[in-house]
Structure 1
């Protein structure tokens, strides 16, 4: 939309918005380094834009600059204390830095501000699992699934938590649901293969490991575990071939 110069045209604001939008566009096409230049310029022209700080934080996070990303999320929260996405993304960065308690506090805040934040429940569940709070993690995955029944990763993660509690049949159901929702879900095939192997279903485990290999040819763990299952079934030559492939990778 064209700017009407007679109605309070703000050169800095519109220039900042142009840099901001160009940064967003560059982010969409993967120009990570160039993105920072545009967000820096947008912030210089409009230092009260919480969204620009958030997006610059996201760009820094993608570049592996986790602590610098947190600094930007902090500033976004300083400018807008009700910014659920800023708390959520700060939680991701804290989690990546091994600051699990801080991450949970951030996810809590994001959920308090947006009770339908499925990804916040999902990642809080992961953080709780990391602390050994398995039942609490399952409750978070349940909540994420209630909000978004098509969130395949939540089923996979809930399957992991149930497997840790010895609930193998329930874990299998979750992995299968994750696969139904996302045919290319390598983690779900791999985890279902592990669970089937532990239940003594060696042939079925081999089928799942083979699917992982079909979708990700360089997955050494899948070759190794498929070798174990084949060895247990007396398929020694095929097992040796899988072990060799795992070693080569």
Structure 2
């Protein structure tokens, strides 16, 4: 196990100071070790020192621009700062350098989603959802993107998948209720809104949806 591997192990164990010592040693032994600079960037980002992390990622890329993990780490910092344009560029560079992982596609999709560009978000979120079927966040946000694109039947399937995986996912239950309402199934929608409120009683959107469905059902019965 080399110094970088030891450092990553220490980070995973929560031993940040020991990981930093190992990475410092790796960089002292080889100032051109792009992986060590990337790992140090990850360490700094993990403890909230984002400005310093940028410096280490930038150095890693300067040494070797093919290190996809450095582009990915830098992209995450841009995303946290809501700088989606630069985040998208860095995620795309990470993909271009072979970091074809579901997390990269998910974050790239989220950049477009947060920017309001649902059509560009959809293919990336779809890839993330397909590549990581156990990732609830990927499944849920793919459902949201489908719903915003008015692909209601497919969105409904996604929210059903999420609630099957996590029955107390209040937001998925709410959005499933919206899908039922969109299909003019007031009873189904009301049931989902009630389930969302049972999980999270202060879910304002579900409470509002419940009132609307109850009103529709009352009018339908002539009460």
Mark yes or no: TM-score above 0.5: yes
Are 1:166 and 2:147 an aligned pair? Answer: no
> Structure 2: which 5+ runs fail to align?
216-223
Q: 1:89 to 1:221 in 2, by over 3 A?
A: farther
* Matched pairs, number: 207
Q: Say what the alpha-carbon RMSD is for the aligned residues.
A: 2.8
Matched, 1:141 2:122: no
Moved more, 125-134 or 137-146: 137-146
Conserved? CA contact 2:176–2:192, under 8 Å: no
Match of 2:196 among 208, 223, 233: 208
Residue 125 of structure 1: CA displacement? 0.5
CA distance 1:116–1:179, change in 2 (3 Å): farther
Question: Residue in 2 aligned with 1:193?
Answer: 174
Q: Compute the displacement of 1:100 (Å).
A: 0.9
Q: 1:229 to 1:101 in 2, by over 3 A?
A: closer
Q: C-alpha separation between the residues in 1 aligned to 2:58 and 2:125?
A: 27
Q: Please state if 1:111 is matched with 2:111.
A: no
Q: Deviation above 6 Å: which 4+ runs of structure 1?
A: none
Match of 2:60 among 50, 56, 76: 76
- 1:59 and 2:43 matched: yes
Q: Tell me the alpha carbon deviations over residues 28-77 of structure 1, each in whole angstroms, 9 at most, x when there is no partner.
A: 12233553343223322322222111111111111112222122111222
Q: In the aligned structure 1, how far is the partner of 2:90 from the partner of 2:167?
A: 31
TM-score (norm 2): 0.78
Q: 1:190 to 1:66 in 2, by over 3 A?
A: same
User: Of residues 166, 190, 194 in structure 2, which corresponds to 1:183?
Assistant: 166
